[in-house]
Amino acid sequence: MPSIRRKIGLGFSAFAAIIALLALLSYSDLRYLERRIEAGVAVYDFLDAVLDIRLGEASFLLSADAEHLQAALIHAGRAKRLLASNRQAFLALQTEQTKLDPGAAEVLLRDYTEELSRYRQLPFARRWQNDRAEDAVQKPGERLVAIAEAFAKAERAALATSVKRSQWALLASIVMVALLGIVAARLLSRFSVRPLSWLETELAAVGAGRNKQLRPISQDREIVSVSQAVNRMLNDIRSRNRHLLQSEKLASLGTLASGVAHELNNPLSNISSSCQILMEELEQRSSTDPLEWLRQIDRETERARLVVKAILDFSKENRVVKTQVNLREVISKSLLLMGLKGSAWIRTSAVPEDLWICADAQKFQQVFINLFKNAIDAGAPTVNIQVRARTVSGKDFHFPRGTVTGKHFCTADSVRRVLIIEVEDDGSGIPPEVLPRVFDPFFSTKDVGHGDGLGLYVTQEIIDLHGGCVGIGSEPGKGTRFLICLPLEERERGPESAPAA
């Protein structure tokens, strides 16, 4: 499996290797310039030696002083040594353009030296009379000077060419290093910064509830390991939440027991009464049709069976299974479980009868039971509860000012339509110092043993599982209002309404 560390290490190794290669090339170029300069020094020394020979020759011809001629011969020897010891430097200047030949220069220098030696051996009187001998000395000297100057000129041109080449090489090196730096930065961004940025974005989406799992952006070992660790953590959190929801259900069953007992007591009493009346009629051989009493018994038995089935469905642990359910039926079943069905102080007329949503019916029953219990506990026995529902455009919905939300971000899609469910009571309200903490787990204002503080926390979790969000607004003495925002799917239909206040 690839690794970010390995990629970065290989990248920096390649970068260091290229930099080392460029440094080696630069060093080689500098060494070439150094040799070129040394060759130039030799060429100019040769030119100086030739000029010194000519100067000694001219001084000898003017003064007839043998010391000048001797000095010229000494300089000639130096010129020979320079040609011999720097032969490669002179050969490097021999091109088709310059047509310079170090060998020809050596021959000319030898002949010139021999002529100077013969000229020195002539008697003084004959030197002035022998123009031919003087020409034999001066003409080779002139040709030698021309050759030395040609070598110097060629050396200047070669040195200028080398300097320009070094300048271009330096510029190319700088450009290459800059390009390599850009490439290295982009690769570093691709291998490390981009995955980290993706991880930050994905974790923010997970925290906001938009994503349930991390999908690695690359197959690098570090990214895959972090993604797997986060996914395991998220799975553990969801598993614990499921257990928490189940615990809350079981806790709620204890509270619902009295209401359920009352709800079951009515049909059982009716069944018992019907049986007694039927037995009396049969004993007295009355003319009353016994089928009517049997039908009454059957109806009450079915009523009791439905209550028991609702309790079993509510207490059973199951996963989120979304189906198309009627919202009013979910609310009615929740009231049935609480023994509050038909209560005049709980009004649901503002919930459209044809409003269907895609949700887990059992879990939404728990949502409404928690909200109704919260209102009853806070305002009993005179509280009135109003339930409303409407659909609006997602972009038009905003929680009213002062609303405390269960999540930092509302996960309802802003481009789709959303369902707004309101559960409002006219109870005593919630103090402002308590309101921000109502969704915290295990937070409760009730006495010890009368509440575990999980009701609203579990409500928030269930709404979050359905992709929505919940908020609460309350003022002391003015009641409490819960707002639930759920994203609607394409197949869901509901009545159009004005935007939420």
Structural domain span for residue 298: 228-317
As for how many domains the chain has, the answer is 3
ω into 381 cis (within 30 of 0): yes
Question: Is 223 domain-assigned?
Answer: no
Residues 50 and 165 in one domain: yes
Q: Give the tokens for residue 20.
A: 């080392």
Residues 285 and 336 in one domain: no
Question: Is 404 domain-assigned?
Answer: yes
Of 199, 219, 251, which residue is a domain's last?
199
Beta strands 385-393 and 346-350, pairing class: parallel
Q: Which residues have CB under 8 Å from 310's CB, separation 6+?
A: 333, 336, 337
Residues 162 and 54 in one domain: yes
**What is the SS3 assignment for 392?**
strand
Q: Give the integer Cα–Cα distance in Å for 7 and 221.
A: 11
Residues 101 and 35 in one domain: yes
SS3 track for 451-481: CCCCHHHHHHHHHHHCCCEEEEEECCCCCEE
Question: Is 217 domain-assigned?
Answer: no
Which residue numbers in the chain have pLDDT < 70?
1-5, 96-98, 119-136, 207-212, 217-218, 242, 244-266, 281-290, 293, 303, 306-319, 341-342, 344, 378-381, 407-415, 441-454, 489-501
Q: Burial letters for 243-282: b for 16+ Cβ neighbours within 10 Å, e otherwise?
A: eebeebbeebeebbeebbeebbeebeebbeebeeebeeee
Residues 46 and 101 in one domain: yes
Structure confidence at residue 449 (pLDDT): 41
Q: What is the CATH number of the domain that holds 380?
A: 3.30.565.10
Structure confidence at residue 412 (pLDDT): 54
Q: What is the pLDDT of residues 229-263, one digit of tens each?
A: 877 887 777 777 767 666 665 665 555 555 555 55
Closest by CA position to 254, among listed 449, 462, 457: 449
Q: Are 422 and 387 within 8 A, CB to CB?
A: yes
Residues 313 and 426 in one domain: no
Q: Which residues have CB under 8 Å from 333's CB, separation 6+?
A: 310, 361, 365
Q: Which residue has the tokens 């929801």?
A: 245
Q: Give the integer Cα–Cα distance in Å for 406 and 471.
A: 6
Question: Is 446 domain-assigned?
Answer: yes
Residues 243 and 130 in one domain: no
Structure confidence at residue 499 (pLDDT): 34
User: DSSP string spanning 48-103?
Assistant: HHHHHHHHHHHHHHHH--HHHHHHHHHHHHHHHHHHHHTHHHHHHT--TTT---HH
Of 302, 317, 332, which residue is a domain's last?
317
Residues 170 and 123 in one domain: yes
Q: Give the integer Cα–Cα distance in Å for 346 and 482.
A: 15
Structure confidence at residue 421 (pLDDT): 93
Of 266, 289, 317, which residue is a domain's last?
317
Structure confidence at residue 176 (pLDDT): 84
Residues 349 and 470 in one domain: yes
Which run of H or of E encompasses 357?
Answer: strand 356-359
Residues 13 and 107 in one domain: yes
Q: Give the integer Cα–Cα distance in Å for 288 and 355.
A: 45
Question: Is 425 domain-assigned?
Answer: yes
Question: Is 207 domain-assigned?
Answer: no
Residues 302 and 352 in one domain: no
Question: Is 214 domain-assigned?
Answer: no
Question: Torsions phi, psi of 68, nearest 5?
Answer: -65, -40
Residues 354 and 449 in one domain: yes
Question: Is 250 domain-assigned?
Answer: yes
Q: What is the CATH number of the domain that holds 132?
A: 1.20.120
Structure confidence at residue 408 (pLDDT): 52
